[in-house]
Structure 1
Amino acid sequence: MTNITSLRCDLEYAIHADTHFCFNIQASRRGDQRILDESLTITPGIQVRQFEDPNNGNRFFRCDGIPGKLVVRYDARIENTRQKPDHSLVECSITDMPNEVLHYLLPSRFCQSDVMSRAAQHLFGRVPQGYQRVSHICDWIRENIAYQLGTSNATTSAQDVYLQRAGVCRDYAHLAITFCRALNIPARLVVGYVHFDEPPQDFHATFEAWLGGQWVMFDPTNLAPAEAVVRVGTGRDAKDTAFATMFGAVTMSYMHIQVNHDGQPPLDDPDPREATVQRLIMA
């Protein structure tokens, strides 16, 4: 299946003191998606440094901001050829796992699979292995964790979500990753863009599990088809995939994301920002 996605991401920050920014909002060039065209607009016109993570393909750009306002706009059209997964995919023995995959079995800051091992074994230890077990983990999370905006923050971990029984897409993905790793299934976080009706458009978090010798994407929220997600960041957890990291005194004053899966361009920004801009066209 081939899908063309048009997207626009608008971000605005009020800078209170000299600040260094590192953004990860550009579509990845890796895997089953291809960038047809894209543009990045920064206001005011400042020097931008771009680099790509050689391990996961995450694309970053960095810039320095002075007190005032910083406005970022990213537009792109993406061709996505991700297929629906084969439900017969099996789990891989640890002995046969590739070296670069083994890393995703280990606990990480937000996914304490060592602490959650007992719970994972109790809930899913007897579920048939393979795609069916990972799918069962997603079903359990949807049935037992309430999707509620404002119930978590930047420091909420999978264990916190398990105890408080509420969270958002990032929390659902972290908990699923934690359960998978505790069952010796490598898993990693994927963040990106996808269209869904509710809640309002935002960066969306899903996860991938290593099954049948390949990474397979799942969305525990079931808000959108996993095969429609435009990949931006991939990593162990949210620490590796934050869309913006700021080193200074900053307040986000505006964010607006539009995603169209029919290939049509995004609508005009309902809250346009008037400013002189520097446009960076990327090959």
Structure 2
Amino acid sequence: MSQQEATVAGARPMRIHAGFEIVYDCPVAVPMLLTLSVHPSRRDDLETRDWLRTAPLVPVRQYLDGYGNICSRIQAPAGRLTLSSDFIVRDDGRIDDYAPEAVQHPVEDLPDEVILFLLGSRYCETDRLSAAAWALFGSTPPGWARVQAITDYVHHHIAFSHADARPDKTAYDAWTEGRGVCRDYAHLAVALCRCMNIPARYCTGYLGDIGVPVAGIMDFSAWFEVYLGGAWRTFDARNNMPRMARVLIARGRDAVDVAIANTFGPAELVGFTVTSVEAPPPG
């Protein structure tokens, strides 16, 4: 039995209890753009709705952005604002697919819609990393093996450190500093894949410690997807192992496209909790 067949055979359907509570202090009324809803690809798995709740109550208007993510627009009033959600989502229990036969497509054969994910972006500076990428991975077999080599490299090159997280850190910064958090692992891996002509996109969502030892304080997680063998494949440089129970929120070029909150005025983040745990059977 192959690893992929074993993955499917060993899948254990489950229910995941997920949600968040995020608290801001706003000295004045401020518009906010939020990316906090479960991705449309998982909407049919929702057992209870993932309504975005606000306290105090304010109108919420939603739309789909250019990447197919659900975005919410609100006008936060002056004072304290609490954003929250609490829901149950069904999951098939499969771990990330393993497809070592997945080939790397020549650039000229790539579908038009994936070309965007070959280009440099705000946090993924392909121009600054191209020479290093080709020196490190130019001799690796193209396709799945090359992406895995990049994932292995990033996993070992960056030491996980909350203290070294900052909102302006780029892939190049993460590479030179060698410390960061999950978004830095994802940014560096995405940038290196693009340098090697492999389309790569940044993902954010819930990834609880289901099926693995408890790893620490829960947060939203970042991973990445690459286009190989005619499909998008999941990789995770932070964990560097197949995981179960990913609940996607959004995809984009990098963290710019999937920021959980853009505030168009002063707003201080004063509270932040995320939940993603296995829920008991219904009843």
**1:227 positional shift:** 4.3
- Which one of 149, 159, 165 corresponds to residue 136 of structure 1? 149
- Which one of 52, 74, 87 corresponds to residue 63 of structure 1? 74
Residue 36 of structure 1: SS of its match in structure 2?
coil
Residue 177 of structure 1: SS of its match in structure 2?
helix
Greater helix fraction, Structure 1 or Structure 2? 2
**1:32 positional shift:** 9.5
User: Identity over aligned residues, as a percent?
Assistant: 32
- Which one of 8, 14, 17 corresponds to residue 25 of structure 2? 14
The equivalent residue for 2:178 is: 165
Moved more, 68-77 or 101-110: 68-77
The equivalent residue for 1:87 is: 100
The equivalent residue for 1:156 is: 169
Contact 1:33 1:230 in 2 (8 A): no
Q: CA RMSD in A?
A: 1.9
Residue 193 of structure 1: SS of its match in structure 2?
strand
Residue 30 of structure 1: SS of its match in structure 2?
helix
The equivalent residue for 1:76 is: 87
CA distance in 1, matches of 2:53, 2:14: 25
Mapping for residues 111-150 of structure 1, pairs under 5 Å: 111-150=124-163
Task: Normalising by structure 2, report the TM-score.
Answer: 0.88
Contact 1:188 1:237 in 2 (8 A): yes
CA distance in 2, matches of 1:177, 1:248: 30
The equivalent residue for 2:7 is: none
Q: What amino acid sits opposite 2:224 in the alignment?
A: F
**1:264 positional shift:** 6.4
Matched, 1:200 2:225: no
Q: What amino acid sits opposite 2:260 in the alignment?
A: F
CA distance in 2, matches of 1:263, 1:182: 44
Contact 2:15 2:278 in 1 (8 A): yes
**1:225 positional shift:** 4.0
Unaligned 5+ residue runs, structure 2? 1-10
CA distance in 1, matches of 2:107, 2:14: 35
Contact 1:190 1:207 in 2 (8 A): yes
The equivalent residue for 1:106 is: 119
The equivalent residue for 2:54 is: 42
Residue 60 of structure 1: SS of its match in structure 2?
strand
Q: What amino acid sits opposite 1:184 in the alignment?
A: N
CA distance in 2, matches of 1:24, 1:218: 22
Q: C-alpha offsets along residues 1-35 of structure 1, whole Å, 9 cap, x if unaligned? A: 44432202111111111211111111101269732
CA distance in 1, matches of 2:257, 2:269: 20
Change in 2 beyond 3 A, CA 1:259/1:184: same
Aligned residues: 264
Contact 1:194 1:204 in 2 (8 A): yes
Residue 108 of structure 2: SS of its match in structure 1?
helix
Change in 2 beyond 3 A, CA 1:236/1:40: same
Moved more, 140-149 or 256-265: 256-265
Residue 135 of structure 2: SS of its match in structure 1?
helix
CA distance in 1, matches of 2:99, 2:229: 9
Matched, 1:255 2:272: yes
The equivalent residue for 2:5 is: none
Change in 2 beyond 3 A, CA 1:92/1:223: closer
CA distance in 1, matches of 2:21, 2:256: 22
Contact 2:26 2:80 in 1 (8 A): yes
**1:85 positional shift:** 2.6
The equivalent residue for 2:191 is: 178
Q: C-alpha offsets along residues 86-136 of structure 1, whole Å, 9 cap, x if unaligned? A: 121111111211111011000001001122111000111111111111111
CA distance in 2, matches of 1:65, 1:115: 39
The equivalent residue for 1:272 is: none
Contact 1:29 1:35 in 2 (8 A): no
